[in-house]
Every structure is written in C-alpha cells, then in structure tokens.
Amino acid sequence: MTAQLVLMIAGLALVWACGAANREDTRPGFFGLAQWLLLVVLASAATSSLLHGDPIGAPVLAATVILAFPWFVARRWLIPRGHWRASWWLVRSSMWTWHDDNRGGALVAAAWAAIHAGAPPRALRFVEARCERSDCGAAHLLATGLVAAARGDLEGARRWMTSLCEFEGPATPRMARRLAVQWIAAEATTRGAWSRVAALADDRDADAATILLATVARRLGGTGPRPSDAELERAWSRAPSRQRLRALVDRALHHSEPVDAADPPHATPLEADPHRCALLAHAALVASPSPTARGLADACAAWDRVLGDAGFVDTARRRAAVLGARVDPPEALSAGIQADLVTLVRATGLELGEGARGDGETLVRVRRALHQRLLDELEIVADALASRVRARRILAMHEEWREYLAVRGAFARAVAMTGPELQRLGYAIVNPPVCALAVWLWNDRRNRVHAHQMFRWLLREAELAEDTEAIALHRRNVECG
C-alpha cells in the first residue's frame, strides 16, 4: 500500500512537471501528450483502487482531476479566495489553456489572486520578481498590469493591458489577451468611457462578458448602432456572473434614446474691442477643463484680428514709448500667446491635426512651435533608448517593454497632435532605436515574442510614413517569425 501511494504521488509530480516543462506553441505538444497519458493512467489506477475499497483512490482521483483542469480550478476556487501561491503553482502546469505561456499564466493567476487577497506586498513582490525574468512570454504584461492595478496605479495598468491587446500574430497568448480585453472593458465601463468599451465589441478575443459590456456601452453612450432590448437581454443571458451585472443592464434598458441636439453654437464673446474679445476667448480656453481644437482655433483667429489691427498695434507701441519700455508689444504678446497655447496643447493632449489652407498666422505659428517641441521631445526619448541599447545595458523584460511603449506613446501622441505631417520625420527618429532594441532582443536575448511585436509595429508605421527602405527591412524581420 505504501509503495502504491508513493508511486501515485510520483505520478502526480510527474504530471505537474510535464505541464511545467511545456513550452510548445501548439497544443497538445510532446509534454502535453505525456501529461494527459499519465493523467489517464493515474485516473484509471485511482478508480480501480476506489472500486476495490482502497481509500487511497479518492484523494489521488481528486488530485488527478485538479491537475487535469488547473486553470478552471484556480479561476473558480483559488483566485477568488486569494490563494496566490497555490494559484501560481497550479497554473504553472497548465498545458491546455496556457499552452503557449504557462509561466506568464501562472503569474497572471498569482497577481489576480493577490488582488482578491487585498494585495499583500509579499504577493506583489513575488509576481514582480518573476516578471523581471526575461524568459516570460507576453502574458506577464497582464500580470504586471494587475500588479499596477493592485497598487492603485490604474493609468499604468491600462497601459500594460492595452499593450498586450495590441499583440498580433500567433505568438500572442490567447487567454491572456482575452482577459486583458475583458479587464479593459470592465475598467472603461466603470469610468463611463463608452466609446472605448464599444470599440472592444469586434475584438477577436472579446468574450461574452466583454460583448455584454460593449452592448451596454452602445446603448448608454450612443456609440454605434443602438442595440434593441432583445439584443441586450441576449448578451446578458450569455455573460458570466450575469446576476451581478443585471443592474447595469437594467440601466441600459431604461435609457431613452437621446434627442439629437444640434451642435451647440460656440460661445464667441461678442465684444466691440478685438483685444478684449481675444483675451476673453484665451481666458475661456485656458480655464476650460476640456478645451477643444475648435476653441483653440477660435482663440487664434481672435488674436489674428488683434495683431492685424493697425490701430491696436500703434496704440500699444505708443504706450510702450510713453512708459519708456524697449519691448515691442505685439511681439511680446505674440510670444506669450504661442507659449500659452503650445503648453495647453501639450498638457491636455489636444489634437490639432493637420494644417489647413485657411489657418491664420497664430494657429500656424502654434502648430509649427508644437511640431518642433514634439520632435525634440521624441528625440530625447529615442536617444535615451538608443544609448542604452548601444551600451548593452540589459533591463528586465517588462522594463524593456515599458521603454518601448514610452517611445511608441510619444510618437503616437506627436502624430495625433500635429497630424501625419510629423509621421515621416518622427518615424526617422524612432525607427533606429526601436529596431536596434528588437534586433538585440531577437538575436542575443532570444526574446522573440516581444521583438516580433516591435517589428510589426515598425512595419505598420513605415507603411504609413511611406519609408520604402524600412518597409522592405521590417517585412523581412516580421517574416522571420
């Protein structure tokens, strides 16, 4: 009996080890087959023992079932109860759900359980320490995001999750991506960011919960076609934890269709004095919690009228002379306007877009100054990355990814603020350092999952910038796998 018990325990340990050893990109893979073969043998032996009245059979059979469905058990029982270490240990052997990255999957399970356990620092440190190892797959981005959320850094968590959702190609761990999409939908719903939630409806990894939230978002936010009551009920009936989401669905059902309101006329101050009118428009713009591109264009137009008014310029210059000032008032005013508006656009992320033929001088100057400042900032971020890669200073994988995201984010913001005009110049700045980082990761550090995603992004941006040389290079890089 003791020999039988030892044999069964050894068998269970071997099952776990087979799962943990699994590094296959496809399922079931060699270790997966070995694991399931052992599970079948163990389950048969345990059942046979049980039928012969041997008490060893019951616990071995239970352990076999647990090891056969580690993610299900972890998600159903261990994670909600906050057993972070047990969740990590069990999911580490998952070869079905997390066949493509069970190291990362185990970290996701641990981080998720840690949230339910009240974010104990030990658990968060445990996850972070493992995320720093370079052999992690992409799922560690989800774990890092969950740790950031557990620490209260929702902005950081959003960034990590979004970067995982942008993973393309076969190297993306499906379960991690599906969970990240659901997390983003739930978090955006809580904030009432309906357009963000609705956009997730067509995501390839949107599960029933995400689809329900996206349907609610379309109804409450008025984004996309308005779903009918039946559509809402259908989405709700398919969602997990649906009873707890009922209040949200009821709110959506009782939400009446908004009456199409005409675009409210923009409040342009009616003043006879163009200087006062421009000051009012400027004050309204800088004091506004959510300034718009139209408000900015209106303020610029108002300043154009002031600076083009010969009477104002003459009076201001005479006044300066009376006071004994050597400063040229129109020039000082123009510099102040430009400084304020560039700062405002940088601080609020206002998207000015591409310049148009009818733009006034002030707007053109603001756009030009912003363009230059954004390129300078982009160069600083890109240079920092380039020098580190040249010096071969290795960072933990999630830190490497964070640096890549910083360059990418700066580039995307710059393009969004001043339009595609910046695309080509900005691309010429970010391409060399990001490419060098990806090549380094691919060739020397064997981290092909992350490198591949970087090449994909570089290729996409090269196509937008119409950089033929870079397109050819990154096409070859992407084709490498």
Partner 1 sequence: MSVTDRWADNPFFVLELSVAASRAEVERAGQKWLDMLAVGIGRAAIYMTPLGARARTPELVRSATAALRDPERRVVHELWYLDHAPTPPDDDDVVDVDDGDIGFDAMTPLGWARP
Binding site for partner 1 (CB under 8 A): 79-80, 112, 115-116, 118, 149, 182-183, 185-187, 189-195, 209, 213, 220-221, 240-241, 244-245, 247-248, 251, 276, 279-280, 283-284, 286-290, 316, 319-320, 323-327, 329, 332-333, 336, 339-340, 343-344
Task: Give the angle 408-190-79 at the CA atoms, nearest 5°.
Answer: 85
CB closer to partner 1 out of 166 and 187: 187
Give me 266's structure tokens: 């923009």
Contacts of 14 by beta carbon, 8 Å cutoff, 6+ apart: 38
User: Please, what's the b/e burial string for 426-455 (b: 16 or more CB within 10 A of its CB; e: otherwise)?
Assistant: bbebbbebbbebbebbbeeeebbbbbbbbb
Q: How far is the CB of 279 from partner 1 (least distance, A)?
A: 4
Q: How far is the CB of 399 from partner 1 (least distance, A)?
A: 24
CB closer to partner 1 out of 52 and 244: 244
CB closer to partner 1 out of 46 and 281: 281
CB closer to partner 1 out of 62 and 283: 283
Q: How far is the CB of 376 from partner 1 (least distance, A)?
A: 19
Task: Label each residue of 101-119 as H, E or C.
Answer: CHHHHHHHHHHHHHHHCCC
CA distance 83 to 89: 10
Q: How far is the CB of 472 from partner 1 (least distance, A)?
A: 41
Q: How far is the CB of 81 from partner 1 (least distance, A)?
A: 11
Q: How far is the CB of 216 from partner 1 (least distance, A)?
A: 9
**DSSP structural state of residue 269:** -
CB closer to partner 1 out of 2 and 241: 241
CA distance 129 to 115: 17
Q: How far is the CB of 186 from partner 1 (least distance, A)?
A: 4
Give me 50's structure tokens: 């049980």
| Cα–Cα distance list, 295 to 95, 299, 370, 403, 421 (Å) | 56, 6, 17, 34, 22
User: Please, what's the b/e burial string for 388-420 (b: 16 or more CB within 10 A of its CB; e: otherwise)?
Assistant: bbeeeeeebbbebbbbbbebbebbebbbebbbe
Q: How far is the CB of 367 from partner 1 (least distance, A)?
A: 19
CA distance 284 to 301: 14
CB closer to partner 1 out of 93 and 182: 182
Q: How far is the CB of 86 from partner 1 (least distance, A)?
A: 17
CB closer to partner 1 out of 204 and 244: 244
CB closer to partner 1 out of 14 and 248: 248
CA distance 245 to 213: 9
Task: Give the angle 62-68-138 at the CA atoms, nearest 5°.
Answer: 135
CB closer to partner 1 out of 63 and 239: 239
| Cα–Cα distance list, 142 to 38, 85, 296, 373 (Å) | 31, 17, 38, 33
CA distance 412 to 166: 14
CA distance 462 to 451: 16
CB closer to partner 1 out of 344 and 458: 344
CA distance 360 to 343: 19
Q: How far is the CB of 151 from partner 1 (least distance, A)?
A: 13
CA distance 236 to 211: 9
